[in-house]
Chain A
């Protein structure tokens, strides 16, 4: 059985930051990463990040991913296992994983779950036609595999993912027919929206997909307008020819391991689904099990990195590491999170976290 002090499940921005922070305080860390290259979603984020210097703002996601990976790989306290999938967390504290076709048992003293989130689907007739993808899948195809998904794309969803992937499709020389959004407003950052709009891509708010069509693969979609009650308005149908449709309609926290580990779960719409109940320092109701990043509520990568750091420090401190400086580092991380979530775009997240912590209506 493999022994480690802290096991980090997931090598994305949250997991890598958690590992670095814990190892810097002296803890031994093992990272399990399902993919062959750690970095999570950062490996395909070719755009520059927002936030402040502390979260590497201005650098591109791919650069941040490489930097975070170098940071953990250069720390002898951290061991990284790529191509390793965590399978279960058991009552006796044993964690099982699959690596190189082998079933491996790990006995960690603390666990940090940083498994991220998965893309949501959308219901409409023929949504199983080849050519209909999650926007994140298309981003992987283009930016990791170097394969263009098709010739002309209909993007569904004007959140940051929909807007950013549209821009990246344009950069790859793929036409974007339109970005449609069911909500009456653009959900992503408006600077991202302006960037694709001035490249000629129409953004249609209060619009949804009525149905997709095509013989063997996607050939187009009928879209229509929605009224204030999100009901289709008859007679507003439009036929959009496209061989690719990208669904960027939100993410769900990947919480299977939290459920299975027996963490108390709560449905919080603002955090995009069921999330583990946890304290301010990201420890769940199962003692010694922490969460960080999208698994604890879907948000930006900048806050995932800070949450990772906070969980890493907290887990290390609970093992007796960094007693002198850890409280200060925790306070700094909490202050950064508060700052990132203090504006109008962070309001929803703050409301969700208040509900999760059972402090509804309390000032934050």
Chain B
């Protein structure tokens, strides 16, 4: 259960997924935000009007998937780092998952990094296709990762070597 473990359940996720048909069309935002908290920057980030305005600031974000063009502006604007973009139109075998990332060092384009699921379990190594800055002030990066189609709804984080103080 999400409230006990921090891991959203398949039932939680089902509520926020676009239709398969929409997913195959091209990049689309998936907002993995399941709790009513006072927060609304996502609604102001979206210039397409795809993230619907909230009546109450505590509302859970709602999407109009047909309006979403997958631009990804919302990814780095969400304070909870809860928005991902999935593009299943990337190739027959692979999809692109765009992930918010706030760790150093940043991965480099072409680098193979470990993909993690929502429980932090390793799913394999995948290639980084693009690294986008959220801007000097925002400081959240977006990492584009090519993953097998069947893992595009599983991979939600990456791990690469870096500075650790363990040794």
Contact = CB atoms under 8 A, between A and B. Distances in A.
Nearest to B44: A53
Contact of A173 (B3, B140, B165): B165
A213 interface: no
Given A194-B7, A198-B120, A57 B163 contact: no
A59 B79 CA distance: 8
Nearest to B140: A48
Contact of B165 (A63, A148, A205, A342): A148
Contacts of A194: 2, 6-8, 32, 80, 82, 118
B37 A189 contact: yes
B116 interface: yes
Contacts of B16: none
Interface in B27-47: 32-41, 44-45
Interface residues of B, number: 50
Contacts of B10: none
Interface string A158-197: 0000000000001111110000000011100111111111
Contacts of A203: 4-6
* A contact residues, range: 35 or more
Given A47-B79, A198-B116, A199-B116, A344 B6 contact: no
Contacts of B119: 197-198, 200
B13 to A, nearest CB: 11
Interface in B52-96: 56-58, 77-82
Contacts of A193: 2, 5-6
Given A50-B37, A189-B35, A58 B77 contact: yes
A225 interface: no
A200 B4 contact: no
Contacts of B81: 191, 195
Contacts of A82: none
Contact of A346 (B38, B45, B80, B139): B38
Given A197-B119, A200-B116, A342-B38, 6 more contacts: A173-B164, A194-B82, A198-B119, A203-B5, A203-B6, A342-B58
Interface of B: 2-8, 32-41, 44-45, 56-58, 77-82, 102-104, 116-121, 137-140, 156-157, 159, 162-167
